[in-house]
DNA sequence: TAGATTGTTAATCGATTAACAATC
DNA sequence: TAGATTGTTAATCGATTAACAATC
């Protein structure tokens, strides 16, 4: 695999291919062409083949396309879906609770194991997920071997909580706080700023830039 | 302004500059250099100047840098923050309610005017925002002159609701449903897929790709 | 003035696309 | 076999960065 070209964009496409493959499989399909996969997520067939090749997936059959089962296995293995991916939610307000109850996560392979809050008496509406006090984070993260956290805290708490999260040994953060956190040497941050997304949307609409977004 | 280079990435950076400028202003600063702005959001000074220039903002002063007030006015005008930006939330489950109560939106210039749901008897925890039945969408959107919607519906309803949203006259959609919607000729879609973001995060962490994300 | 910073142009970098040999 | 599709290489495209003239 050509690691230098692997970036968030190509990874998200790979995840997307996986979703499409599951759907095709559910519909009873057995084979798929790069052309079909491209159509399904709105990219070119060349892009699909280039992506798969980049991740070292070359199970395609000239003329015959790809076996869905085989391709799915390869993609799942590449994305690490062979093992269960644990994640914690830090900040159990409305947004944190919404994510803890989010139905869009794939059933297999991804699991929210705990929530954390300054006020842990608030109970997850999803009773299966325990909520702890922030200062128990290091213990739980270590015990459960969690490496990824979702941060849904208010802006005012974000910087301080990010320190805590890093000290707990978390290696990757999906940050929903409206504050751009910077990746450090040991912890990777992916910022999702809803206000920013919305603002860019207003602009695009205002100037009728109805071309597809990247 | 050089519209052909305007894309979501540069727009989000512009929004980011605005946030930084507000913070600097609050701290009592009067002047700022492209170098400072770049540091603040983690891009180069050249990128900052290139962005501003692209949006037709050339209020900089050689040697003196930029006046924060003047630059802020220019950025706000470019982003259309001179007028109030109305938005509706379609799907008032946990995620929809979390967004209706989201504290990260700038106080000025951005306002959620209504929520919509198949079951409109559920009341917004934020009492200021009324919740209507889906079939009232066209009327409200027209009366309130809304152009942008946030979609927080289950995957199973997404395609159908997207049709409804388009028929109501919405021109831009921020989609949180775990299903990639495609932009049409008249309606621009920005997909935010939390599961996808999380999955790419797992991968990056797994291979210790702790380089900053794009 | 001398030093420093902008705005813009040219150079670089990286990602997407087109083309095509290999081959089922 | 002939036609079609992969995997990869080369060409293209676009975005970022470096460089620098203009100038405060």
The answer to the question of residue A150 being in a domain is yes
* Overall pTM surpassing 0.85 (yes/no): yes
B68 and B165 together in one domain: no
Whether A21 and A91 share a structural domain: no
**Chain C footprint positions (protein CB, under 7 Å):** 3-9, 14-19, 22-24
Query: Would A212 be classed as within a structural domain?
Result: no
Whether residues A190 and A156 share a domain: the answer is yes
Mean pLDDT for A42-49 is 96
- Confidence class for position A213, pLDDT limits 50, 70, 90: very low
Q: Report CB contact under 8 Å: A174, B201.
A: yes
A59 with A107, same domain? Answer: no
B12 and B63 co-located in one domain: yes
State how beta strands B131-133 and A31-32 pair.
unpaired
Shortest alpha-carbon distance between residue B136 and chain A (Å): 23
The pLDDT value given to residue A126: 64
Point out the residue nearest to C4 (C-alpha to C1'). Answer: B63
Q: Tell whether A202 is covered by a domain.
A: no
Residues of A in contact with B97 (CB under 8 A): 94, 98
Contact A102 B95 (CB under 8 A): yes
- Judgement on whether residues B128 and B181 belong to the same structural domain of the protein: yes
Residues B185 and B105 in one domain: yes
Give the model's pLDDT for residue A67. Answer: 97
Judging contacts by C-beta atoms under 8 Å, the chain A residues touching residue B21 are none
Single residue among A13, A46, A77 that ends a domain in this structure: A77
DSSP string for residues in chain B = --GGG--HHHHHHHHHHHHHHHHHHHTT--EE-HHHHHHHHT--HHHHHHHHHHTT----BTTTBEEHHHHHHHHHHHTTTTS-EEEEEE--SHHHHHHHT-S-S-SSSEEEEEEEESSTTSPPSSTTS-EEEGGGHHHHHHHHT--EEEE---HHHHHHHHHHHHHTT--EEEE-SSS-PPP-SS-EEEE--HHHHHHHHHHHHHTT--SPP-
Q: Which residues pair with A115 in a beta bridge?
A: A89, A131
pLDDT at A188 over 70: yes
From the CA of A155 to the C1' of C17: give the distance in Å. Answer: 42
We report the CATH number of the domain holding residue B34 as 1.10.10.10
Nearest CA in chain A to B18: A196
pLDDT at residue B2, as a whole number: 53
A21 CB neighbours strand D below 7 A: no
Would you say residue B204 lies in a domain? no
Let me know: does A141 contact A113? Beta carbons within 8 Å. Answer: no
Average of per-residue pLDDT across A137-152: 97
Local mean pLDDT, 10-residue blocks, chain B (214 residues) = 74 96 96 96 96 95 94 92 84 95 82 92 73 96 96 96 98 95 92 94 79 43
**Cα–Cα dist A148/A85, whole Å:** 8
B206, part of any domain: no
Q: Give the count of alpha carbons within 13 A of B72, CB side only.
A: 15
Contacts of A204 in chain B (CB under 8 A): 8, 11, 172, 188
pLDDT at B214: 38
B184: distance to nearest CA of chain A, Å? Answer: 8
**Given phi > 0 = left and psi -120 to 50 = alpha, else beta, which region is B60?**
beta
Q: Of B31, B46, B78, which marks where a domain is finished?
A: B78
Measured between CB atoms, which of A87, A173, A203 is closest to B11? A203
A177 CA from C10 C1′ (Å): 39
Domain boundary among A52, A77, A102: A77
Residue B214 belongs to a domain: no
- Protein-to-nucleotide distance from the CA of A47 to the C1' of C15, whole angstroms: 10
CB-based contact B105 A180, cutoff 8 Å: no
Q: What is the pLDDT of residue B125?
A: 61
A210 min Cα distance to partner chain B (Å): 5
Asked whether the predicted pLDDT for residue A153 surpasses 60, the reply is: yes
Report how many Cβ contacts below 8 Å link chain A to chain B. 226
Which helix (H) or strand (E) element contains residue A112?
strand A110-117
pLDDT for residue A124: 60
A101 plus A166 within the same structural domain: yes
State the pLDDT at residue A214. 39
CATH of the domain at A108: 3.40.50.720
Question: Does B52 reside within a domain?
Answer: yes
DSSP string, B60-77: -BTTTBEEHHHHHHHHHH
Question: Are residues A110 and A69 part of one domain?
Answer: no
> What is the total count of domains within chain A?
2
Write the pLDDT tens digit of every residue in A60-100: 999 899 999 999 999 999 998 667 789 999 999 999 999 99
Flag whether B212 is in a domain.
Answer: no
Task: Among A172, A173, A186, A191, pick the best mutation site for testing chain B contact (most B Cβ within 10 A).
Answer: A172
C1' of nucleotide D23: residue with nearest CA: B62
Residues A60 and A22 in one domain: yes
Query: What is the pLDDT, as a whole number, of residue A2?
Result: 53
Same domain, B103 and B183: yes
Residue B68 domain boundaries: 3-78
Query: Which pLDDT score, from 0 to 100, does residue B122 have?
Result: 67
3-state per-residue secondary structure call for A142-187: HHHCCCEEEECCCHHHHHHHHHHHHHCCCCEEEECCCCCCCCCCCC
CA B163/CA B170 separation, integer angstroms = 10
Q: Are residues A73 and A89 in the same domain?
A: no
């Amino acid at each position: 695999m050509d690691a230098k070209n692997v970036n968030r964009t190509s990874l998200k496409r790979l995840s997307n291919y996986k979703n499409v493959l599951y759907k095709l499989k559910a519909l009873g399909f057995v084979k798929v062409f790069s052309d079909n996969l491209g159509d399904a997520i709105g990219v070119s067939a060349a892009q699909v083949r280039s992506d798969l090749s980049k991740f070292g997936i070359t199970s395609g059959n000239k003329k015959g396309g790809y076996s869905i089962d085989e391709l799915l296995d390869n993609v799942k293995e590449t994305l690490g879906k062979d093992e269960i991916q644990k994640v914690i939610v830090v900040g159990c307000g409305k947004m944190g609770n919404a994510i803890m109850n989010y139905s869009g996560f794939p059933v297999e392979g991804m699991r929210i194991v705990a929530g954390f809050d300054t006020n842990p008496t608030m109970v997850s509406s999803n009773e299966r997920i325990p909520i702890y006090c922030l200062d128990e984070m290091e213990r739980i993260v270590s015990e459960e071997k969690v490496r990824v956290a979702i941060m849904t805290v208010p802006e005012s708490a974000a910087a301080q909580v990010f320190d805590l999260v890093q000290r707990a040994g978390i290696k990757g953060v999906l940050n929903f706080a409206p504050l751009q956190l910077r990746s450090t040497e040991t912890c990777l941050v992916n910022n999702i700023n809803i206000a920013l997304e919305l603002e860019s949307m207003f602009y695009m609409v205002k100037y009728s830039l109805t071309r597809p977004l990247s």
